[in-house]
Amino acid sequence: MNIIEKRIAELKQYQPDLTAPKDIELFWDKTLEDVQAKPVRAFKTPVETPYPHIHASRITFEGVDDTPLHAWYIRPQFSGNQKLPCIVLFHGYTGGKGYPEDYSSWLMLGFAVFAVDVRGQGGETGDRLDDPYGTVKGWVTKGILDKDTCYYKTITTDALRAVDWVAEQPDVDASKIAISGASQGGGLALMVAALSDKAAVTVADIPNMCHMDFGVMNSTSSLTEAAEFANRFPEHLEQVLHTLSYFDMMNLAHRIHIPVMVSVGLKDTVCMPETIFAAYNRIESPKTIEIYPFTGHWVEGFQRRKTAEFLMNAFN
């Protein structure tokens, strides 16, 4: 066994202790009730692009706290009004939904696309949620002293509402909704897989929001913001870790019941392999993991092709 094989074998056996609080299931059941109790109010505005074969609309829908959330809904012109499979896409930390043409490869496969801004970051979507306490730079520590005000709760409920909107569209095949993203987006894709009954399949590339206590201690990810907060306010360290545990995919993996593809780079210092395998190893539904021994925190073109093949096989 060479060193690469040994490293992979060790990671496949990695099972750190769960950090789930006793009321985690009650918390998420109540949260899902709150999400489902509020109808998804949305507005659709056609958008012109330089690309004649893309039909694009700007969708504005409301978060649970009434923050207007922005997304692109994109379809290939050749599809008319026929029902299409739809992929819901979440971007990485500090990013945004970009331009409609960024998703042309999915249109060529015959998919509709719903590309969503994560609130407050680098897209067009703001955030009306109050700051109940001081924060450090970035968004991760917003509301971090309480599970009900935590930024991770808000972006997760936003993601769930995005999928609910897609499932209601008359030109979407509601039995063929895929969820995907990378890094932060990969974490949200796994959260949706665990919490939504609308998703049929999920691809989570180099996902964040996994084994977050390990990440706070060791990674160079956005969780360094939580580490800085705890360093600034050491009396709140235990509460910070307790809050994050409600949103840790390691603690929610057992709720996933749909096929999942995950990718991991063994040289990734942002979403470290230990964090990803800690969650992946606890998924009990059909799953596959694509391992890139020499990749850091990025997604290779080969993995994008593997994702297309995975989803086409799932829906054919």
What does R_g of the chain's alpha carbons equal in angstroms? 19
Which of 55, 70, 211, 297 is catalytic? The answer is 297
Quick check: 35 and 61 in contact, CB under 8 A? no
- Exposed e or buried b per residue across 206-238, where buried means at least 16 C-beta atoms within 10 angstroms of its C-beta: bbbbbbbbbbbebbebbbbbbbbbbeebeebee
47 CB-near residues (< 8 Å, 6+ apart): 56, 57, 58, 72, 100
Which of 55, 91, 158, 183 is catalytic? The answer is 183
Whether residue 55 lies in the annotated active site: no
Distance in angstroms (rounded) separating the CA atoms of residues 136 and 229:
6
Quick check: 84 and 171 in contact, CB under 8 A? yes
Return the sign of the alpha-carbon dihedral for residues 249, 32, 180, 200: positive
133 is in an annotated binding site: no
Whether residue 297 lies in the annotated active site: yes
Distance in angstroms (rounded) separating the CA atoms of residues 144 and 141:
5
Whether residue 254 lies in the annotated active site: no
- H/E element holding 243? helix 237-245
Which of 117, 205, 213, 268 is catalytic? The answer is 268
| Sequence ranges of the binding site for substrate | 93
Residues classed as catalytic: 183, 268, 297
| Sequence ranges of the binding site | 93
